Amino acid sequence: MTVTREKKFAVIGDPVEQSLSPLLHGSVFRMQNIPGRYEKILVTAQELPRFMARFRNGELDGINVTIPHKFAVMPFLDELNPKASIIGSVNCILQKEGRLTGYNTDWFGFIQTLKMNHIQPAGKVFILLGAGGSAYSVAYALLQSAAGAVFVVNRTREKAESLVASLSHLSGCTVFQPAQLEDLTSYLNDSVVIVNTTPLGMGTLKDETPFPPHLLRPGHTFVDIIYNPLQTKILKLAEETGAQTINGLEMFIYQGLASLDVWLGRTVSSRIPMKRIKTILEAKL
């Protein structure tokens, strides 16, 4: 008889309390009879080197990485999957015999979200709010999908410039630029898709909005990649304006299932009933 060892996984971040990854993965393990355990671990920036050493030594088989470590984990890796290397940020790491390989599954989660909500990115104008780890994944997904334009708006302009500089070789026919909202008024009166990748609307920032509400229009589509809460303040205001609104839950589920495929080395994701998983997670939000 073959005894399969229980595999151990975790999500690391700071903050991490809001994460539903343990619930998502725990539910999948039960549905598929996978011997696995998944926890959330608060890891501060100072604690990251020591945590990565313990991870490498076999404490865990795989981790998800969330805010603010998606760039910071990269120097600790032995290898980067080609897509993660192009995107330049990592949200999933596999530990095998002491070797750490970094992956990016956020971009896939984002593409799936657009698909599920019948948004065809080709030719469309996107305003991307934020230039952190997840913004790189979203920008990559949009450039791969031949978006018409992607304007990156960020608190720290230099980081928007760095994002554009690092992915501009993929831009093809897409207009891809750092921008300020003041320069985008002509686009904002049209049917743009605005994507929030900042934490404004979550945790201690739950009463903040990443976009001035008076600029919202009924023709806009507002995607907030935050999923906890399901309806951030800006999504509520966008909905009241008559805009189409999309939260981050589907992205979260798809990036998580794609991580599981990486860790287990087989396709589990396609066998998971999406509707059931969504219901389980929504009940907690």
Q: Catalytic pick from 7, 8, 70, 115?
A: 70
Amino acid, single-letter form, for residue 32: Q
Binding to ligand NAP by CB under 6 A, coded x per residue (else -) over 147-186, reads: -------xxx--x---------------------------
Find the binder of ligand NAP among 225, 238, 268, 281 (CB under 6 A).
225
8 tagged catalytic: no
131/138 Cα distance (integer angstroms): 10
Q: Could you tell me which of 214, 282, 273 has the C-alpha nearest to residue 247?
A: 282
User: What gap in Å lies between CA 226 and CA 230, rounded to an integer?
Assistant: 7
> What region does 104 belong to: left with phi over 0, alpha with psi -120 to 50, or beta?
beta
Q: Which is nearer to ligand NAP, 174 or 255 (CB)?
A: 255
Q: Token pair for residue 209? A: 């909005």
Q: Could you tell me the smallest distance in angstroms from the CB atom of residue 98 to ligand NAP?
A: 26
Q: Do residues 276 and 253 touch, judged by C-beta distance below 8 A?
A: no
Alpha-carbon gap, residue 227 to 207, rounded angstroms: 15
C-alpha–C-alpha distance, residues 62 and 39, integer Å: 11
Taking CB under 6 A as the rule, does residue 199 contact ligand NAP? yes
Backbone phi, psi, residue 146, to 5°: 55, 45
CB of 125 to ligand NAP, least distance (A): 20
23 binds ligand NAP (CB under 6 A): no
Out of 60, 90, 106, 128, the only residue in the binding site for ligand NAP (CB under 6 A) is 106
Enumerate residues 230-269 that contact ligand NAP by CB under 6 A.
248, 251-252, 255
Q: Which is nearer to ligand NAP, 88 or 248 (CB)?
A: 248
- State the nearest-atom distance from the C-beta of 202 to ligand NAP, in Å: 5
Applying CB under 6 A, which of residues 130, 142, 192, 259 lies at the interface with ligand NAP?
A: 130
278 touches ligand NAP (CB under 6 A)? no
Binding residues for ligand NAP, rule CB under 6 A, total: 28
Q: Could you give phi then psi for residue 139, rounded to 5 degrees?
A: -60, -45
| Chain centroid to CA 77 | 20
Full strand arrangement of the beta sheet holding 149-153: 175-178, 149-153, 125-129, 193-196, 221-224, 244-246
Q: Which residue, 102 or 132, has its beta carbon nearer to ligand NAP?
A: 132
Would you tell me which residues interact with ligand NAP (CB under 6 A)?
66-68, 70, 106, 109, 130-135, 154-156, 159, 197-200, 202, 225-227, 248, 251-252, 255
Active site residues: 70
